[in-house]
Amino acid sequence: MINHEADTHKPADWHALDTGQVLQDLESGKDGLSPEQAAARLAEIGPNRLPEAPRRGVLARFAVQFNNLLIQILIAAAVITALMGHYLDMAVILAVVLVNTLFSFIQEGRAEQALDAIRNLLSLRAQVFRGGQRLTVAAEDLVPGDVVLIEAGDRVPADLRLLRASSLQIEEAALTGESVPVSKTTAPAASDAALGDRDGMAFSSTLVTAGQGLGVVVATGARTEIGRISQLLEDVETQQTPLLRQIAVFTRWLSLAILVVGAATFLFGWLLRDLDPNDVFMMVVGLSVAAIPEGLPAILTVTLAIGVQRMARRHAIIRKLPAVETLGAVSTICSDKTGTLTRNEMSLQSVVTMADRYDISGTGYVPDGQFSDGDGQTINPADVPELMDVMRCVLLCNDAELHQEGDDWQIAGDPMEAALLVAARKAGLDPVDETAAWPRQAVIPFDAAHRYMATSHQTPEGDARLVVKGAPEQILAMCNSVQTADGSAELDLNHWEQRIHALAAQGQRVLALAHKPLANTGQKELSHDDVAGDLMLLGLLGLIDPPRDEAIAAVRECHDAGIAVKMITGDHAETARAIGAQIGLKNSAEVLTGADLDQMDDDALAARVTEVDIFARTNPTHKLRLVTALQRDGDVVAMTGDGVNDAPALKRADVGIAMGQKGTEAAKEAAEMVLTDDNFVSIAAAVREGRTVYDNLKKAIIFLLPVNGGESLSLIIAILFGLTLPIAPLQILWVNMVSSVALAMVLAFEPAERDIMQRPPRPASEALLSRFLVWRITLVSVLFTLGIYGLFGWALQQGMSVEAARTLAVNALVAMEVWYLFSVRYLSAPSFTFTGVQGTRPVLISLATVVVLQLLFIYAPFMGRLFATEALPFVSLMWALAAGLVLFVLLELEKWMRRSMPAA
């Protein structure tokens, strides 16, 4: 085993060596390492992974939890309380602070674990040759000596010394600051060449913008150029969501209100009511504690984290946390067609030659199917020479591979090329035999700018032939003849355009195939000039990618939710129209093409974009214009993309959605969300989860604030009117610990309400505290206050002691919280149903916890000494439960009245 850490060649020297020397030093070859060699080197060197930035230590993370204004107010109250000799009150206040900070501390640790899991889900993949076979592996499994294939749109997975470069260009701005892509070669550079002048190298994390290359790994992980730079960078701060920013503003205003009201109350009680300053201050401490929703920050964090985890289970990985909130407001989804709305299992279904049209049976990548002619009669393709010419050429002009693993067939490479390879196998052609008989000499990889792929081959007779496949419009423009059974004939452009439209109208993706002889049989490189003209058309290829059944249902669900679905594709207009009709787009009759969009100014496009659901033959510029036009109309847009050139539209969209399987790394980095299954169903599911997260956040806020409001009102009334406090400050702390931790937390786990995908999208600018929330918070705060004072006053009238009356008031407050929890689980729908009253498992666990804690609060002697409570007869507790039931009934009546009122 060679020592890859040895100083035989420093990392800076690989670019100065020729390719043969590099392969020799790394004990590798053009077929790559064997699997055994790769495994041994991985064990010796370690994974190809950048070292993680140092994290804060345990004590530092714990200290940060106190950087919260509301927590700091509680700590200040505890200190002043201790200075006044109320050590028990101080201990309980600090206990509340400790419980909340410990919870946040634990949750932050779990959040880091969740981020680690997401990093693993988003790991880079690489195409590698091992033992001469092309495989797809995780980039972190690459080792020095691996031979890697890179193509346009890929992130280079490690530092590579290039062995082959075909029109290869790489953007190296992350390393050199040079924004213009660099053309790559295989030639060595001077040993002292600057980083940007090492044209024979491809560096880890740089972006392939054009062409194709083959390179051998010379450095991985921290030993790469980007690895050295990464060690100098500090941790990037986590982006705060708009909602949490609103909460921060709310916290500041609430803190200011608490200080102002507390000071005013203290002065009023001391100066106007002539109360003892010590007693008044303890009342103000109780008021401050009552007004602070201690559990709100933790509940918000948990709700967002649970939403992210639920989305991950539905194949939607959230990369940027604000997308969790934004998803709930999406009003338009712009989706790609292939693989997202369709199965992404292409099959060559039709071949059109000058003589006839041939249909091929079978779906997917199993090479099993039959050929039939235009009359529907089964034929042997070997009996039709022009058909066999087509099948051979689609096999030769092809970079895909097909492997059988047990009963399953696996592909490596482009799905469309794999479908062509499968069809050739159905025709009886063996890829190994054909490529040996027709060895490839040169290639021009497919490029979106030219819309074709070309290969040159040596024929069995020793001549050279050029084979070209690509977009039919592009290929036809370069053809001047068509192959016939007798030789060739002049190309009738109108005839072939009609055949293209006929295939596309059936939902087939159309390619054209052409060839011509090459004069230079030893030509090892191809240029676009070699392809530019004098081609002979072989025929048309019609490929089908059927819609996913589940995508059809998901589109219908989005329409029911008031979400417009628009299909934006590069396919032919007729193909797009056929698929659009099959998946159920509302307006599948009208299609706008990229050429149509080019004729429209921004105003005209904004007027038309809401009326049309299908956009065909589009390029990345068109996608960007469409997203911008929709946003101009006020829509919140989710946009899917998979290519490098989709990045501008993904960034512009409110929620950029990258494809995890077929998507390039550039698209994933530009997106807020990555679909691990490339399925439209996962987008609809993510929107559902986004709406659920927002609903649950509203429920948590609408639950916590009235509880604190009712407690605060009770204390303010007592101070203003010189009444006995119905609940002591320490008892308020107990209630807040129970309600904030044991009750409110379960709202984060609430499932989606049944009508969540029947509602129109919420406006993106909707305020956190809407008029409805303000009304509900005010109403419930007043009802809580009436319940507390009602039972406290009744208990005193019955001759109970103040301690017993307060114990009953505390239990009434907790009972009202429990009943209110059942009510708030459905903001508008009735809660008085079997499902609503039954509750979920988290609700039942929380309820059991509260019952046990309250029984301890009432009957445990040490709790009585700590909180100044008295044991109550069982019949008294029934009155507390009755207060909660009355609250529940009143709120259900309020819901019914709001549902009965006509919409404004």
Q: State the catalytic residues.
A: 336
In whole angstroms, give the CA distance from residue 784 to residue 816: 7
CB 170 within 8 A of CB 202: yes
| Amino acid letter for position 711 | E
Per-state percent for the chain, helix, strand, coil, to nearest 5: 50, 20, 30
Q: Please check whether residue 317 is in contact with residue 118, taking contact to mean a CB–CB distance below 8 angstroms.
A: yes
Give me the residues paired with residue 655 across strands. 638
Residue 229 makes CB contacts below 8 A (sequence gap 6+) with 174, 175
DSSP 113-181: HHHHHHHHHT--EEEEEETTEEEEEEGGG--TT-EEEEETTPBP-SEEEEEEEEEEEEE-HHHH---SP
Q: From CA 194, how far away is CA 175, in angstroms rounded?
A: 11
DSSP conformational letter for 381: G
Distance between CA atoms of 608 and 630, rounded to whole angstroms? 10
Nearest to 358 by CA among 380, 343, 337: 380
CA distances, 231 to each of 45, 202, 223, 273 (Å)? 18, 20, 11, 65
Residue reference for tokens 């090329």: 417
Q: Give long-range contacts, CB 8 A cutoff, 24+ apart: 239-246.
A: 239/320, 239/321, 239/322, 241/304, 241/321, 241/322, 241/324, 241/325, 242/322, 242/325, 243/300, 243/325, 243/697, 243/768, 244/300, 246/768
Q: Report the helix count and the strand count for the chain, using DSSP H and E.
A: 32, 28
At 723 the three-state DSSP class reads coil
Rounded CA separation 685/314 (Å): 7
Among 752, 896, 758, 747, smallest CA distance to 828 is for 896
Residue 610: its H or E element = none
List Cβ neighbours of 399 (8 Å cut-off, separation of 6 or more).
413, 414, 417, 443, 445, 453
Contact 154, 214 (CB under 8 A): no
What is the rounded distance in angstroms from the CA atom of residue 443 to the CA atom of residue 694? 52
How far apart are the C-alpha atoms of 630 and 623, rounded to whole Å?
A: 11
DSSP string, 776-832: HHHHHHHHHHHHHHHHHHHHHHTT--HHHHHHHHHHHHHHHHHHHHHHHTSSSS-S-
Torsion of CA 544, 545, 551, 556, to 10 degrees: -30
Say how far apart CA 80 and CA 288 lie, in whole Å: 13
The span from the CA of 630 to the CA of 613, in Å, is 12
Q: Where are the beta strands (DSSP E) in 242-306?
A: none
CA atoms in the 13 A half-sphere facing the CB of 651: 12
* 3-state secondary structure (DSSP) of residue 743: helix
Whose tokens are 């370069």? That residue is 478
Strand, coil or helix: what is 468? strand
Which two three-digit tokens encode residue 294?
């201690």
As a whole number of angstroms, the distance between CA 467 and CA 389 comes to 11
